[in-house]
Amino acid sequence: MKYFCLITSLFIFAMCSDQIGKEKQKHLSVNLQQRDEVSMHDLFRHIEIIPLETDTDCLIQAIHSVKFEQQKFFIFDYEVQSLFVFNDKGEFLFKIAEKGQGPREYLNVSDFNINKYTNEIELLAPINNSIYRYNSEGKFIEKINLPPWKNGAYSDFYLLNQDTTVLWSYDDENEIKYYSRSKQSIVLETYPEYWDDNFCTFKFPGNDYFCRSLTNTVYRLGTNGLETAYEWDFGEDNNDITKLVTTNDPKKNFERNLKIIRSEIANYVLAVQLSNSQYYYAKIIREGKFMHLFYDKEWNKSLLFPQFTEGVAIHPVIMTDNYVIGLTGEDVSEVLQASILSDAEKEKLKQHKVDDNPILIKYEWKSNK
| pTM, full prediction | 0.89
pLDDT, position 368: 54
Query: Could you say which architecture CATH assigns to the domain 24-365?
Result: 6 Propeller (2.120)
pLDDT, position 269: 97
Residue 191: how many other CB atoms lie within 10 Å: 22
pLDDT, position 13: 43
Q: Tell me the C-alpha distance between 68 and 296, whole Å.
A: 24
pLDDT, position 246: 78
- Residue ranges for the chain with pLDDT beneath 70: 1-25, 368-369
- Positive or negative: CA dihedral 184, 194, 108, 316: negative
Q: Tell me the C-alpha distance between 41 and 325, whole Å.
A: 16
Residue 163: how many other CB atoms lie within 10 Å: 15
207 to 58, 215, 269, 282, 319: CA distances (angstroms): 30, 19, 21, 15, 10
Cβ contact 31:235 at 8 Å = yes
pLDDT digits (tens, 9 = 90+) for 228-287: 999 999 999 999 988 887 777 888 888 989 999 999 999 999 999 999 999 999 999 999
Q: Tell me the C-alpha distance between 138 and 112, whole Å.
A: 13
Residue by residue, DSSP assigns 234-245 as -GGG---GGG--
